[in-house]
Structure 1
């Protein structure tokens, strides 16, 4: 009877653990670089369109929403800590074009645009240009897909 009870507890722990890791995480995070490949999300708001992303430092980090975010300065880190929802990219930092099409993929920090004070990132310059052509519609489609799109990887069998 004790063995049967222990077996049931082990099965319950296994099922709960498996569900805790189902789907993609809510924030795109590189295993060694951190959230959005180490780019400073606050710095985007001071860049001119087309500028390269500013890469953050290991000296200025903050863990939020399950990911380590890096910043170029203590000032930028503190701004993020005060209001992470203002600075965090849309769709957890996954490619906006991909989310509009119902899946998630990584991003390139230099493929970005701020629209209505929100940061959008894309996988590549090509996906950025394709997203930008019909940006308003793509944003509506991605908004409708988010966050359910995080579970698509499970159906495809390619969760990170």
Structure 2
């Protein structure tokens, strides 16, 4: 910015306070707070993709705080409650009730999402992409999470087609993820 423009805008340092832009920023941040912050970040930023279990890097919650047992019991994603938590695989898991928590603690390998919550379609391609707990399927008594609705639909049409490659690639990909 030239000296003349700096003086005209009331700033010689080049930093100008713009009340209109500040107000818009304030409104956006208030909206983020009122929605719990989830609307403020793209879903890809919510989950860490360097962990063996997909964990929200801001909250430490596995699968965004959804109850993994509810997928089996209620056949739908249900948010867990803070008073029903358990720690497993370095992540905090939430449940909607004590019964679901006890089931998970007794059998985390059964109720936890297969591949740590990574999308099996992408694993079959050789990449780790965090699954979204809203896009899910149960196949062979295992929970699978998907990054996109299209991936889930492709998987449901022929699970064995993708699971063969995902199972083959998972051990090598798992070694690249933090413990």
Please state which band the TM-score falls in when normalised by the shorter chain: 0.7 to 0.9
Provide the TM-score with structure 2 as the length reference.
0.66
**Distance apart, 1:127 and its partner CA:** 1.6
Count of aligned residue pairs for this structure pair = 129
Aligned to 1:24: 50
CA contact (8 A) 1:108 1:122 kept: yes
Aligned to 2:100: 76
CA contact (8 A) 1:103 1:152 kept: no
Aligned to 1:113: 137
Counterparts of 1:33 and 1:65 in 2: how far apart (Å)?
A: 11
CA contact (8 A) 2:139 2:159 kept: no
CA contact (8 A) 1:90 1:119 kept: yes
Aligned to 1:61: 85
| Larger CA Rg, structure 1 vs 2 | 2
Aligned to 1:39: 66
Aligned to 1:100: 124
Counterparts of 1:104 and 1:86 in 2: how far apart (Å)?
A: 21
Counterparts of 2:85 and 2:126 in 1: how far apart (Å)?
A: 31
CA contact (8 A) 2:69 2:95 kept: yes
Which deviations, in whole Å up to 9, do the C-alpha atoms of 1:3-62 show, x marking residues without a partner?
A: xxxxxxxxxxxxxxxxxxxx82210111216111111100110234xx4x1111111111
Matched position secondary structure for 2:129: coil
CA contact (8 A) 2:67 2:95 kept: yes
Flag structure 1 segments of 5+ consecutive residues without an equivalent: 1-22, 154-158
Provide the TM-score with structure 1 as the length reference.
0.73
Matched position secondary structure for 1:121: strand
Counterparts of 1:83 and 1:40 in 2: how far apart (Å)?
A: 14
Computed over aligned residues only, the root mean square deviation of the Cα atoms, in angstroms, reads 1.9
- Structure ranking higher on relative contact order (CA contacts 8 Å, 6+ apart): 1
